[in-house]
Structure 1
Amino acid sequence: MTKTIDLEKETKKLTEKLLSLLNVEATVVVSEIESKEKEKSISVEIETKDESGLLIGAHGINLNAIQSFLALTLRQKTGEWIMVSVDVGQWRARHEDYLNQLAVQASDRARLTKEPQYLYNLTPAQRRIIHMHLSSENDITTESEGEGENRYLIVKVK
């Protein structure tokens, strides 16, 4: 059953309540993202002076938890899945830039050595960013291997 609510307003209210419970003073900006697939997507930008590290957590783990909490709560309120993206102080954008640089370094090394380059300790989202970044390279291919926590990415010359 789908319930109609103002997604932006509800998401902002939920985020501000969560931050209040954490005793974090922050500014929250919520916007609905246009999607080609007609999926509903929400972007949540949080700006705080002193608590960025707390909200982001090690390797973005707290940020991902906040994102999951908001998505699950909105699912409960609306009856449908809504893609939620949460960022604090542009951390996700900077992290994606880092991953893109890592992808370029691995592909350059693969071209130079003609040997596969292995990238370990990446989350599924991080592997996806690297796959997507290198997908336009005509002479490079990427693949994930392994299972669960031992999954890794291979960058190699075609």
Structure 2
Amino acid sequence: MRNLVEEYKKGYVSLVETVAGLSPEILSFKPSETAWSVHEILIHLADAESIGIQRMKKILAEDNPLLTAYDQDAFASILSYKDQDYKLALEIIKLLRKSFAFVLEALPAEAWDRTGVHVERGKVTLEELLGGYVDHLKGHIAQIHRNLDAYRALRLVQQ
């Protein structure tokens, strides 16, 4: 479990390194009309982080709790992701990960097998859920790289 917690802790640093120095134009660039910009991805990650930690806390504090789903596209639209402060989102992710890593590091071995029931995925252990959030961040870092590649390709075509 220690490796998984370390990966979780390092995720924020990888994210910050990925977006460091990006211009406002690149941050707001969308590779397609339906795709998210890097800015929107960062806001989404802050929301996902807070929801993920709430789910993990429920698994730790309750017996087999129900873990609700949410519509990420509705969040992005209705909560105006494009207008929110991405720097604040990065700070939220940093603080949430730092504070919850403390909880994770102190857990006894048996806590990792505690379960909840996700309304879409079914039964999930704390270990699986944490692994999912580690992978979720990695997936969005890869998405950011794809956005950057699409931006660069478009700039080359325009030259």
Whose RCO is larger (CA < 8 A, sep 6+)? 2
What is the TM-score with the length of structure 2 in the denominator? 0.28
Judging by fraction of residues, say which structure has more helix.
2
What is the TM-score with the length of structure 1 in the denominator? 0.28
Computing the radius of gyration from Cα coordinates, the structure with the larger value is: 1
